[in-house]
């Protein structure tokens, strides 16, 4: 089964996902490809960091389940086509990509993470050390995503506290794996 985590920049998706992976060892996190340069303190395995030519050639070979040019920075991001037998896969991607995944696999579950406030998103973006224009663009794109996400998602989770939010997501995933028998 595919579980997709989406949500505007600065809601703390990455932290929730990291906590979720410790709560649910059966989940495998898909590693995306991106043309975005690696941030100074970012782990080398956060993405497969590639140039545009490498990205385009994987794209031409039908190597992505979904991909998108992220509006806030013009960089390309894509989810490699899962290998057979990958088990339960967790994707952390923006909303346009999430819609593509749902179109390709209607059984995929879209969980949208929101922040308690716009101020909380802004504070988190600032903390990450992005420059001001980039913060402003990510906030604006995030406003649009927040408006759209509520309508598209199967589940909405507010990241008011990382542990609580991760446990809520883990509960959603467990319930989707084993739906209650209502007969
Ligand atoms: P960042 O540059 O902050 O790492 O990521 C920017 C946005 O791209 C985030 O919303 C992130 O979730 C999204 N993203 C990361 N990987 C992928 C991917 O493979 N596909 C798509 N569509 N979005 C992605």
Close Cβ partners of 18 (under 8 Å, ≥ 6 residues apart): none
Instruction: Pick the residue whose CA is nearest to atom 12 on ligand 1.
Output: 93
Across the chain, mean pLDDT equals 94
Average of per-residue pLDDT across 2-15: 94
Q: Is it the case that residue 183 has pLDDT exceeding 90?
A: no
Distance CA 158, CA 155 (A): 10
Domains of the chain: 2-29+86-177 (3.40.50.300), 31-81 (3.30.63.10)
Q: Which of 59-68, 136-145, 154-163 has the lowest mean pLDDT?
A: 136-145
pLDDT digits (tens, 9 = 90+) for 111-155: 999 999 999 999 999 888 788 999 999 999 999 999 999 899 999
Instruction: Pick the residue whose CA is nearest to atom 21 on ligand 1.
Output: 93
Distance CA 68, CA 36 (A): 12
Distance CA 122, CA 91 (A): 23
Cβ of 93 closer than 6 Å to ligand 1, yes or no, is yes
CB 153 within 8 A of CB 6: yes
CB 48 within 8 A of CB 34: yes
Q: How many CB atoms lie within 10 A of CB 112?
A: 25
């Amino acid at each position: 089964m595919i579980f997709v985590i989406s949500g505007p920049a600065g809601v703390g998706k990455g932290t929730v996902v990291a906590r979720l992976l410790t709560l649910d060892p059966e989940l495998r996190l898909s590693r995306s490809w991106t043309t975005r340069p690696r941030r100074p303190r970012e782990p080398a395995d956060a993405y497969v960091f590639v140039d545009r030519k490498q990205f385009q050639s994987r794209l031409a070979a039908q190597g992505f389940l979904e991909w998108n040019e992220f509006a806030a920075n013009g960089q390309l991001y894509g989810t490699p086509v899962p290998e057979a037998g990958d088990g339960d896969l967790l994707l952390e991607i923006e909303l346009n990509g999430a819609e593509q995944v749902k179109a390709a696999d209607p059984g995929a579950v879209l969980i949208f993470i929101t922040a308690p406030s716009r101020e909380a998103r802004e504070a988190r973006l600032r903390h990450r050390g992005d420059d001001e224009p980039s913060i402003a663009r990510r906030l604006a794109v995030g406003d649009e995503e927040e408006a759209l996400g509520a309508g598209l998602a199967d589940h909405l989770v507010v990241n008011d506290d990382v542990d609580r939010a991760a446990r809520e997501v883990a509960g959603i995933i467990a319930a989707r794996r084993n739906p209650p028998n209502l007969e």
